[in-house]
Structure 1
């Protein structure tokens, strides 16, 4: 079943398929486990689609803040759709095989959407800084064309950053006995560890991508909120300060929901070699599934404008 692709050197081996493990040790209860997973995927898809439709159909939400929220929802939909097919195939049908090239494609989009999400959260922090520090010029600074250019820059950044990764994996000689992946989807760190070759370049480039995207973005988000706090402390009354900070609560929660699992995944991959396999799986699922589920809930609960728009949309559908 596992065929090799030979080059000039006959010892070069690439598996035609990888075997997805899913959640090790819990194979006997996959039917039960599929229920919460299916519920979370349904919530993620429904919630983010409702956000997008609400913003599109409500003229009063055609503002920079909600355009960035739409970008976040689109990104969360992308992340959800990246992992849904293989995860549910493993849990529902015990179908564990994924073609090598399909695994590369899934890995590329999975990590690309992660970089996009980090970049969108950074753009949203800039939006909050402009809205609080210069409210009179907010609309003139963040025009539709500026927001469009920011969106293009975000997608370009993610694509350029991740484009070399599949080719760096494609050049590796893999071990015939190491074709099992640790999850029900394809991670770069997981795939490169299956190689019987020097993966120094892959490790260094992966570290470069993490540092130049997520690490830089988190520092700039922290800087943005430092400037926001400085501006807020200069406002006249406590009521004005509270009102200004309240506009940032949803975004702060979205940042925490994204970056805490990212940190967890990074730590477990680098320092958790002796941790039980189920720990690796659960941390990865939290990283990929929880933010798309929680972000629509956070924004619909904290933003009365989004909440009202969603309720109007649901009434029309009813």
Structure 2
């Protein structure tokens, strides 16, 4: 007869195998009374949305070294934060990061609220992030469900309902298992189990502390779970970007509107993105078109950008954007898709 899964077996495993994370208080330190910093927990959760742990670590360390407290971040210049974020993608997160920091600094005296419902009122904090912060930072028995937890629950209960329709079912399974004792460590333990043992491919079932409780292991279905509905084919959009350089080396850049993709980021002037982009040159010049496109994939579509270049005289004024002196231009301040366009030009692919 299959054993019922319980938190104690998983927590014993976590105490021995917890992953080391720059934002995490290890279980032995937590037992010794070390309290997680809610600011670091919140920061990590925002960064980890749709981004891997490996990609986030260096960004997290750079952010927390530069802005070690939520008040420091609240007082930062928008442009500095957006530049530091460049490369992480999903730039609405960076805008909400600043908004949230300022609300916490101004309305909560620099201290994050410790309950799920109040956390939900903060900019950029949805149900998952509110549950994660209240659980991990404040040891509240909230149900934390990310992709790793969904996979663990689907296998543990041999649930074959395809995602995303299975989300409410899997959340109920997770809620039933969430303990009142050490809920923060438990939440991290389930995520670690999914990331290191109950992996998408070739799960290491022989090492799993819940193996004897796992219906999918018993039925031989672990490798095929969780089921997923067929993905819709991503459309392809097209656009044009204009890389104008003044004869003194300055580059013509513009700050994108706060709303929409890449909101608030520096970028090259260009057209809208669609099926048939229209010419939108930002300055009068003899434009040359590169033979190679800048290509990038966002969550919901592929983007192909025609790259045009021009050298312009000192006295010519643009209709949009501003010239950034060569010494002040930093490629790393650009979002990834804009870097790709720059790299094509820098490599002389004409």
TM-score (norm. length: structure 1): 0.27
Larger Rg: 2
Greater strand share, structure number: 2
| Higher RCO structure, 1 or 2 (CA under 8 Å, sep 6+) | 1
TM-score (norm. length: structure 2): 0.26
